[in-house]
Amino acid sequence: MKRRFDKAKSEDSSNKTGRTKNKTQKLINKLLNKNKEMAENNEEKQQTQQQNEQSQEQQTEQTQNCEQKEENKQENWEEKFEELNKKYLLLYSDFENFRKRKAKEQMELVMNAAESTIKDLLPVIDDYERALQNMESSEDEIFVKTKEGLELIYNKLMSTLSKQGLKPINAKGELFDENLHEAIARIPAQNEQDKGKVMDETTKGYYLNDKVIRYSKVVVAM
């Protein structure tokens, strides 16, 4: 009887120990599983974080590339605009120069259209001036009236020609200028101040619209 009781007691104790071991094992397994899940979750989080960081880096890189492309486009447009603007300014400048040159040529053509005719009239003007000069000393009434008529005709002729741009060249008393004067004689200067000056004018010179159409024939002091 006592043996049975001891045996039952021993079996009961073994069962309790076995149950305790099972509970402990289950708890350990549960803890291991939980740690495994936590590790897996941490790994997933790290992977997700890495993916997010990579995605952000890619987005940042794409954004920078887009911005760089836009900047390049802007620079290209600015360069093209600058190039076109320079071409336009050059063309405009060339056109303005051409327009001014043609306008000047046309003006000169119009202003100097009568140059040949006016040149032919210069000897007639010389004759009028010589005739008037010869009549200066005459007191004859006929010469006086003739002189008045000649002066009237001469003044009207010169007024008409001056409107066409005819203008006499100043010579007597001026320094000799080979662009305006033609020296037909040279005489000794009476003083230092007269050297190089025009002392006399034998034939008057003329401009036509600032263009010399006949040089003054002069005597120069040397």
Task: Report yes or no on whether pTM surpasses 0.85.
Answer: no
pLDDT band at 94 (very low <50, low <70, confident <90, very high): confident
Q: Express each pLDDT in 48-69 by its tens digit.
A: 777 766 767 777 777 666 767 6
Q: Express each pLDDT in 28-37 by its tens digit.
A: 667 666 666 7
Residues 6+ apart with CB under 8 A from 215: 169, 180, 181, 182, 205
Q: Mean of the per-residue pLDDT values for the chain? A: 80
Q: Express each pLDDT in 2-22 by its tens digit.
A: 444 454 445 555 555 656 666
> Would you state the pLDDT for residue 133?
86
